[in-house]
């Protein structure tokens, strides 16, 4: 490879914008600002339910305690070991009833700020601490768990797992411990499918929602289940904020083709040429950097809005070849 030419390819899906005909209706929102900080204080706040209580395994944390810049009060589940030898799960949920058929709104969207704080309670020096599961769970009006997204914090199965109410499926994607993420889910009750993104990147698209049969295909609640993975509970915990549910008549997510950069090469005049797959319904922006830290999007004619599926090529006529230049193609729905 030419030492002055390198490519850094990033697929960046920004916040989805609704199609022109979308009429989104809010079903529920809370940022926990009005909740009282403390253990068990989530239970009973704005009709939230937490079980069991009395052990500090769920509640509200103030900004002074969690120290996450930009967030005030947040909810949590985990950390405090539940009482009772036979206890294997802790649950928090907020009922939000929605009938996708009678309402004519078969699409439900869920977004939240989430973060998994890792365990630190090793039984013995040098041993890994116990780590657990945190399931974002979709529940119907009859109380049946239709589907889930498992933030699996264990060493043996670490990552994001999709649950269909019967089986678990490894998405091969992961989260980052001790970091904040934006979770987005779009549920299509009419077609029994759902799509999940983390920080704008697809985890899965139009996967089966539930494998259960003879259950009501509607929304009763969205909750979090903390499930012990071994004999000991880890003191890992999940942060939650900006909990939002909305309903719509049509989907936001545009069915997308695989996005990849086909080639980065030099043309006969020694100028870099980047080629990738373009698709209608998305825009594409070329950015560049010389240190992989500071990125610039001021290249001439470097913004594309394709009207048909085809290869797109861009030649950087400003690259003199005096220094290594990295390139990034950002795709955004729009």
Q: What is the mean pLDDT of each run of 10 residues along the chain (334 residues)?
A: 31 37 84 96 98 95 88 96 89 98 96 96 88 98 98 97 97 94 96 92 89 96 97 95 96 70 86 87 88 89 85 89 80 78
What is the token pair recorded at 220?
Answer: 């009763």
69 phi, psi to nearest 5 deg: -60, 135
Please state, in angstroms and as integers, the Cα–Cα distance from residue 183 to each residue in 26, 58, 133, following that order. 17, 20, 16
Q: What pTM value is reported for the model?
A: 0.72
How far is the C-alpha of 38 from the C-alpha of 53, rounded, in Å?
12
What is the token pair recorded at 226?
Answer: 């903390």
pLDDT of residue 255: 59
Rg (CA), the chain: 23
Is beta strand 89-98 parallel, antiparallel or unpaired with respect to 303-304?
A: unpaired
How far is the C-alpha of 126 from the C-alpha of 254, rounded, in Å?
48
pLDDT of residue 221: 98
Q: Is 126 exposed, middle or buried (0-12, 13-18, 19+ CB in 10 A)?
A: exposed
The count of other CB atoms within 10 Å of the CB of residue 52 is 16
Assigned architecture for domain 25-248 = Sandwich (2.60)
pLDDT of residue 253: 55
Q: Which is it for the CA torsion 279, 256, 188, 76, positive or negative? A: negative
Is residue 201 a contact partner of residue 122, using CB atoms and an 8 Å limit? no
Identify which of 243, 244, 144, 251 has the alpha carbon closest to the alpha carbon of residue 189. Answer: 251
- Residues forming a β-bridge with 226: 90, 134
Helix residue spans in the chain (DSSP H) = 63-66
pLDDT of residue 196: 95
How far is the C-alpha of 151 from the C-alpha of 2, rounded, in Å?
42
Is residue 63 classed as helix, strand or coil in its secondary structure? helix
- Residues forming a β-bridge with 182: 113
Q: Where are the domains of the chain?
A: 25-248, 261-333
pLDDT of residue 2: 32
pLDDT of residue 67: 83
pLDDT of residue 256: 65
Please state, in angstroms and as integers, the Cα–Cα distance from residue 127 to each residue in 121, 123, 152, following that order. 10, 7, 19
Place of tokens 């058929």: 101
């Amino acid at each position: 490879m030419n030492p002055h030419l390198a490519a850094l390819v990033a697929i960046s899906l920004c916040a989805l914008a609704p199609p022109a005909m979308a009429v989104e209706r809010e079903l529920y929102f809370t940022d926990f600002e009005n909740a009282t900080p403390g253990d068990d204080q989530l239970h009973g706040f704005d009709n939230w339910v937490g079980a069991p209580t009395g052990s500090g395994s769920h509640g509200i944390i103030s900004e002074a305690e969690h120290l996450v810049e930009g967030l005030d009060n947040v909810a949590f589940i985990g950390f405090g070991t539940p009482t009772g030898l036979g206890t294997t799960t802790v649950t928090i949920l907020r009922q939000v009833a929605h009938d996708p058929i009678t309402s004519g709104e078969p699409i439900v969207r869920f977004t939240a700020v989430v973060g998994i704080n890792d365990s630190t309670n090793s039984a013995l020096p040098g041993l890994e601490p116990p780590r657990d599961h945190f399931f974002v769970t979709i529940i119907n009006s009859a109380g049946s768990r239709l589907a889930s997204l498992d933030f699996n914090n264990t060493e043996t199965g670490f990552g994001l797992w999709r649950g269909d109410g019967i089986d678990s499926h490894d998405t091969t994607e992961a989260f980052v411990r001790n970091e904040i993420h934006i979770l987005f889910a779009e549920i299509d009750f009419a077609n029994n499918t759902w799509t999940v993104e983390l920080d704008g990147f697809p985890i899965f698209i139009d996967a089966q929602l539930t494998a259960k049969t003879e259950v009501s295909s509607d929304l009763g609640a969205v909750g979090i289940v903390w499930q012990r993975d071994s004999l000991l509970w880890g003191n890992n915990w999940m942060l939650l904020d900006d909990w939002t549910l909305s309903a719509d008549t049509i989907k936001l997510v545009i069915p997308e083709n695989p996005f990849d950069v086909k080639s980065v090469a030099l043309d006969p005049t020694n100028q870099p040429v980047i080629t990738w797959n373009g698709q209608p319904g998305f825009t594409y922006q070329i950015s560049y950097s010389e240190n992989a830290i500071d990125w610039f999007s001021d290249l001439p004619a470097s913004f594309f809005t394709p009207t048909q599926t085809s290869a797109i090529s861009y030649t950087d006529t400003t690259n003199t070849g005096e220094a290594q230049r990295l390139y990034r193609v950002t795709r955004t729905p729009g």
